[in-house]
Structure 1
Amino acid sequence: MNIPNTNSFISESIDENNSKPIVDFLNLKLNKPQINKFSDNNIGKLHQLELCKLINLKFPETLITTSLADLKKFVTVHKIVITKPIENPFSKHIVNGKDLHFFTSSKLITSNILKKYTSDRFQASLFQKYTEKKFEIRSFYLNETFKSMAIFSQQNEKTKIDYRNYDRERPNRIVPFLLPKSIEKKLIKLMKLLGLNCGSFDLIYSVNDEYVFLEVNPIGQFQWLSRNCNHNIERLIAETLTNGE
């Protein structure tokens, strides 16, 4: 039985206990063409940022804290700060027998906002210096091949902080994009350190003409990138899983 390993595309909605035998079976077939492993879903943002230091890949100044005083100091230094989930921005809850899904995007933090807080402590949270951008970049990666696009989210107040705050009436302009080879080499090195052969990168091209790494998602969505930029990513995935047959 010749089943290609498609671990990274197993639906998160599958019950973990029921899916374990399937995942175990797929992990035994590591000599077959594959796209990541199911366990790669657990690779965290903080580990990614730590590795970026090793390869000199620029990323925003970052603070993890539970202290309002530390956060105020961070905001005083950087003026404009954003907060985002430390891990998966999607959460699932069951309320009255119904599945409810929530998504948390990046949010702006300023000194005026902090004045509203009265508690000195909060749950461990991630904060980053806000990087003013010319545009954002989403890049799908598979076995050292990049399929990228530029997202001109900066001109729209709704999407300025996070393009995932989609404006359905005035969609962001998106165009195919080629990353510089110097950046691709660093990203390839990062993926090898992470043990990944596939993922979706989020980067920023700043007003200072710098490429700034945000994160790589081992199971990042690619359909809209493929469709809007004619990248034909589905064919690339199919040829990988079938050895081009």
Structure 2
Amino acid sequence: MILILSYDEYEQGTDPVIDWLIYKEADYIKITIKDIVNNRSKFLIDINNKRLLINDIDYTDRINVIWYRRFEAHLGLQVENTNHLHQINHEIKYEVEDTITFLKRVFDDKVWMPHYNSISLKKPEVTLLSEQFGLRTPKSIITNNKSDLVKFKKTLDNELVIKPIRHSSYFIEDDYAYSIYTQKLNDLSDIPEQFNLTLFQECIERKYEIRVFYLDGKFYSTAILVNNDTENIDIKKYFKSEIINWVPYQLPPEYEAQLDDFMRSINLNTGSLDVIKTQDDEYIMLEINPVGQYSAPGFRCNYYLDEKIADWLIENDEKETVSI
């Protein structure tokens, strides 16, 4: 059986895969945080015996493969309004998080995609580990003061960009959604002497960007070609415009082998990688998202990634079933 740990609402990467699982008559079950927190299902963990029961059915030995995709992204709580609402929500959140941590231990011997220990890798960690593995990445610092930022800028041959240390979601106000994008930062005159911790990187002059989806040793790469010059460094601003084209791309085999070795070294059997091909035809890896979106390049390049993920889950479920 395949266990899907995701969130309750529609998710563009998860739901199409589930459609394929249904079509292929796969044996699966999906659990969301709301199922647990909002008491929509009976949920029991037998701690001493490491058993999981849902609606009185013991799934412990039936589950072979776990697809772990944004399970904890939307932790919705239902607590009546009291004078201690904030504190109660805060404490319940940690109660649930500790329960999930134990649930991972219960299923530690299962096949995970991706493994829960590696899903928490952050941008600075990926940059450091990539450099140690011989993969070129942009020069980067995290700082909270202008003095160190000015010194860093002087060490760069290229321009400077600013980006979130961690993924930044949307901010909704009235009829508008606001998002944080990577931006060039050339004029430091208006920067305050002290500010919140911020990630700064050298700006790599690109020939084009490449979105890479990695699935257990296989690479599905897409070059994003911009049809005219633009000052905006973050290509996500143009995903729905007519000035870019999505083209299937073949990375050099030796670079794929290097990326494959790196992904296996950090225990990731899947992930979305952002790569830049420079004007000098070098490959620079920007970041890895273990649960990144793959719908856009998969659709535009006819990779059918949602079906390939479904097939991977089914094949590993069948393989584990045979080995039992």
Structure 2 residue 286 is the aligned partner of structure 1 residue 214: yes
Deviation at 1:218, TM superposition (A): 0.5
Deviation at 1:215, TM superposition (A): 0.4
Separation of aligned partners in 1, 2:72 and 2:249:
29
Q: Deviations over 1:146-189 (max 9, x none)?
A: 1110011473426x401111263424111011111121122112
Deviation at 1:12, TM superposition (A): 1.6
Aligned twin of 1:163? 235
Runs of 4 or more, structure 1, over 2 Å off, are 1-4, 8-11, 14-34, 37-41, 73-79, 89-93, 100-103, 153-156, 166-171
SS at 1:49's partner residue? helix
Aligned twin of 1:83? 162
CA contact (8 A) 1:59 1:213 kept: yes
Comparing 220-229 with 71-80, which one deviates more in the overlay? Answer: 71-80
Deviation at 1:14, TM superposition (A): 3.7
CA contact (8 A) 1:51 1:193 kept: no
Separation of aligned partners in 2, 1:87 and 1:230:
30
Separation of aligned partners in 2, 1:184 and 1:129:
24
The partner residue of 1:108 within 169, 179, 184 is 184
Aligned twin of 2:268? 196
Structure 2 residue 143 is the aligned partner of structure 1 residue 143: no
Q: 1:224 to 1:56 in 2, by over 3 A?
A: same
Structure 2 residue 187 is the aligned partner of structure 1 residue 126: no
CA contact (8 A) 1:204 1:212 kept: yes
- Higher RCO, 1 vs 2 (CA within 8 Å, ≥6 residues apart): 1
SS at 2:233's partner residue? coil
**Could you tell me the percent identity over the aligned residues?**
27
- One-letter code of the match for 1:49? T
Separation of aligned partners in 1, 2:171 and 2:119:
16
Q: Give TM-score scaled by structure 1 length.
A: 0.84
- One-letter code of the match for 1:176? P
Deviation at 1:38, TM superposition (A): 4.0
- One-letter code of the match for 2:213? F
Q: Deviations over 1:63-107 (max 9, x none)?
A: 2222212212222342510011112222679x9xx9x97532111
Larger Cα Rg: Structure 1 or Structure 2? 2
SS at 1:86's partner residue? coil
CA contact (8 A) 1:36 1:198 kept: yes
Aligned twin of 2:304? 232
Aligned twin of 1:5? 66
Aligned twin of 1:52? 130
Deviation at 1:31, TM superposition (A): 4.1
CA contact (8 A) 2:123 2:166 kept: yes
Q: 1:215 to 1:154 in 2, by over 3 A?
A: farther
Deviation at 1:190, TM superposition (A): 1.9
Q: 1:241 to 1:23 in 2, by over 3 A?
A: farther
Deviation at 1:9, TM superposition (A): 4.6
Separation of aligned partners in 1, 2:314 and 2:198:
42
Gaps of 5+ in 2: 1-58, 77-92, 319-324
Comparing 10-19 with 55-64, which one deviates more in the overlay? Answer: 10-19
Q: 1:186 to 1:68 in 2, by over 3 A?
A: same
Q: 1:39 to 1:32 in 2, by over 3 A?
A: closer
Deviation at 1:193, TM superposition (A): 2.5
Deviation at 1:25, TM superposition (A): 3.8
Deviation at 1:211, TM superposition (A): 0.2
Gaps of 5+ in 1: none
